[in-house]
Structure 1
Amino acid sequence: MSKNGLFLGIETVGTGTHPASWRRVDSGAEDLFTAGYWTAVVSAAEELGFDAVFLPDSFGIQAGGTAVTRGRLDAVAIAARTAPLTSRIGLIPQVPVTHTEPFHASKAVTALDFASLGRAGWEVTVSTADVEAKAFGRKDIQDRQSLWHEADEAVEVVTRLWDSWEDGAEIRDVPTGRFIDRDRLHYIDFTGDNFSVKGPSITPRSPQGQPIVTVRADDPESAEVAVRRADIIRITATDLPIATERRTALRAAIAATGRDPDTVQILLDLPVHLSDSVADAHTEVGELDGWAAQPHLDTDRLHHVGTAAGLDDVLAAITRSGIDGVVLRPLALHATLTALTAHRTKTEPGQLVDAGEIAAASPAHPTLRDRLGLPRPLSRYATTGAAL
């Protein structure tokens, strides 16, 4: 897997994005709900040189009945478990906001940033299904405009809470008995259409100050939130020219909000299945589709079914297109990790991302912001805002 300057992420959906991937003999499905499964997956991704792992989550059980993988562990909990066993890879769990209070999301991601020494991110998602609404019983299903307006407010609340403790608020002054400097804690006093939150957070400001916010620009509603709020925007496209057009349009929209487009990374989602040969890869996808009784891979979207060496060529083409990075979405997770690992062992030096080289070139504890080339922001309340 050739990095070619791209920011590389991998999305780990259970045993893979294909609903029948658990039936492969190499899937590891028997360990799916163990800590060992997830620590092995994330550690392997780090060893392969990925910049970040994206951990999906939802309040709804997977559709498809008994034939598909059903059940999931909490994404933030998975990320927290893998944090002390990794040192470089960014950990970006999804935290749905539709039925979650922003205060809880803020505290969870802040705690992950502490646990990972500054490698935490948050992928903002919404809950669209009636089954998710019924799981909470507090409100009915919402339309997308309402969902993403609520999500926009949730991100505003969360990021304000992340700033509500200034750096250095913990003074631990033994002689005076003061653990905190109250002048460096601030009310956020947010009132919107969906939330009214006074604050402050109960958790000190984390290593990154502001963990990285990710939003998928899947439609106009989510794209509007993405250009206003996200540090990472995920997109899909039918081909590379369309992907570059989307990037150009999103960068223009970001600039129109008054933000610097160069501070936002636009990543292309790339479904993949890797095997020893192109023919084997297509045969295996056919086997997966046969188990599921229907095709799963959207061949109208940019994807790669083939070898790890072929993936190098795809990533090189994406680099030349100007796209900032890629998120691999393996149809069968362990098959992809195995193929990439095998490819690494036989690739000539210099062609493959080497974790040792990354470690040597990085700070002792590189943050996710470091990997993205983003500075650590000052609290917005450092010079303004009501102290406690």
Structure 2
Amino acid sequence: MKFDVEYISFFVIQVDGEDNQGNKRCKHYQTLDGDDYAESELSSFLGSEFTKIAKRNAERNPKAEQVPTKIGRFGAEPGYDLDSNPNYNLFARLRTAETMDLFQEHAEAMVQAYMDTSAIRGGAVFIVRAKYNKLFDEPFIFVLKCDFEQKIARITDERSLLNKVEMAINAKNMKSIMYPHMPEEGMLELWELKIHQSSHARYFEDFLKYVEYEKSMPEMMNEQVLGFVHQYIDQVFEDNEEAKERETQEMELWACSEQRELQQKWTPEQVVEASNILIEQKPDIEMKLKLGNMTVKALLADFGDRLHIAKMGSRYVIVMEGDGLLFDKGISPVELLDPEPLEQIVERIQRKAEEEEAVEVW
């Protein structure tokens, strides 16, 4: 996957103050056409970055709420086209600039807009127009940001030994925007772009105020499960508004908790029925839970089929079944086990639960 650079503009952002909240300045260093870029040091510095960015995977509904790579979609009011979106227009002008001077002008406008974001850090910004000539006549726009590295030094000679580099950058933690989004080779989504940034940072999301992002799977699940809960409350407390309000508040507090205990409200059949609605949308939804100091990771689809939750007295029991049993690195004596019948284990757990209950009563 080879991208041919048509134009590239190189800017340096400097921010005074250790908290990156001081005076911000931007300087344009150079704008090059494709021939000059190929002969410059920028060519070797950026190397295969464009291919890496294009091939970087991003999910429309990521498995976590904070992920480094996201797909964004330009927002528009119903009945309006893409060019009604201010963020889209920044990219469109760069894609259609007919001269290097025009490209530089539009690149400067984009960097100035980026400068207005909160908590911006100093570093180098590259605005690039490049073509993937193998498949497309239309160009791509890449926005690349490298933060300044702290306390960088290089070896010089035997007298001075070390020479401090004031403004050092590298491509290791480069942030990037690619427009348009290419879900797979040969396909373009003009309404979408792909951003890559530190998962805890929101530089590009702050910058692109009119770009929307799909909800993560945890967010979608939370919303849908709460929808099921409200339906359940409406049915159970149909004639008791006071109880309905109290139950709703309790369940919303439960939903907001970082760690949640088993609620013991629904039958296994009700749980499976609600789970199936989620599984139809995304079959590989994961489920994690802790039993004492043990962590269980499975698919939601496993519940009621290969994973079962039961109770003996005041103790919880998880039963998991499968065709094979494998161990990771680090040999343990457990791997030599000749498994006993399930019935014997159940009897032993039952005795243990009864003994503990007897002690509590005494």
Q: Please, what TM-score do these two structures have when normalized by structure 2? A: 0.20
Structure with the higher strand share, 1 or 2: 2
RCO higher in structure (CA 8 A, sep ≥6): 1
Q: Please, what TM-score do these two structures have when normalized by structure 1? A: 0.19
Structure with the higher helix share, 1 or 2: 1
Larger radius of gyration: 2
